[in-house]
Amino acid sequence: EAQVTQNPRYLITVTGKKLTVTCSQNMNHEYMSWYRQDPGLGLRQIYYSMNVEVTDKGDVPEGYKVSRKEKRNFPLILESPSPNQTSLYFCASSPPPWWRGVHTQYFGPGTRLTVL
């Protein structure tokens, strides 16, 4: 089954304690992205990756890091989480925009992060 998986689904942590949210896709997609969803703001892109070892900042990258060492994995790292990073996080993958066919993104199930 084609899917994007994220772990953990729920996480409560404290300020300053490093954490990693994992993301994996089994569709051999080049593009992967991380978003955060906040009320009234929709989904805002944190980082995206166009392929292995190619990553770039989205709209709200401050306080986050990513890596893309393998095509299937795109972890999100919070080196020193703060309460303003409390949010719902989504990982997503997609084929390149020039791939005439499916253009949509496939989303993971979301990770609810609370930073105390």
Partner 1 sequence: AQTVTQSQPEMSVQEAETVTLSCTYDTSESDYYLFWYKQPPSRQMILVIRQEAYKQQNATENRFSVNFQKAAKSFSLKISDSQLGDAAMYFCAYRSGSDNYGQNFVFGPGTRLSVLP
Contact flag: residue 85 with partner 1 (CB under 8 A): no
In the complex, the smallest distance separating the C-beta of residue 80 from partner 1, rounded to whole angstroms, is 26
In the complex, the smallest distance separating the C-beta of residue 111 from partner 1, rounded to whole angstroms, is 10
Q: How far apart are CA 6 and CA 8, in angstroms?
A: 6
Residues 6+ positions from 100 with CB-CB distance below 8 Å: none
The CA angle 92-58-107, to the nearest 5 degrees, is 10
In the set 44, 65, 71, 72, which binds partner 1 (CB under 8 A)? Answer: 44
3-state secondary structure of 83: helix
> Taking contact as CB under 8 A, which single stretch among the options 20-28, 31-39, 63-71, 77-85 is the one that binds partner 1?
31-39
Beta carbon nearer to partner 1, 69 or 100: 100
Please name every residue paired with 104 in a beta bridge, in sequence order, or none if there are none: none
Q: How far apart are CA 50 and CA 97, in angstroms?
A: 11
Beta carbon nearer to partner 1, 48 or 75: 48
Residues in the site for partner 1, rule: CB under 8 A?
A: 31, 33, 35, 40-45, 48, 50, 56, 58, 88, 90, 92, 94, 96-98, 103-105, 107, 109-110
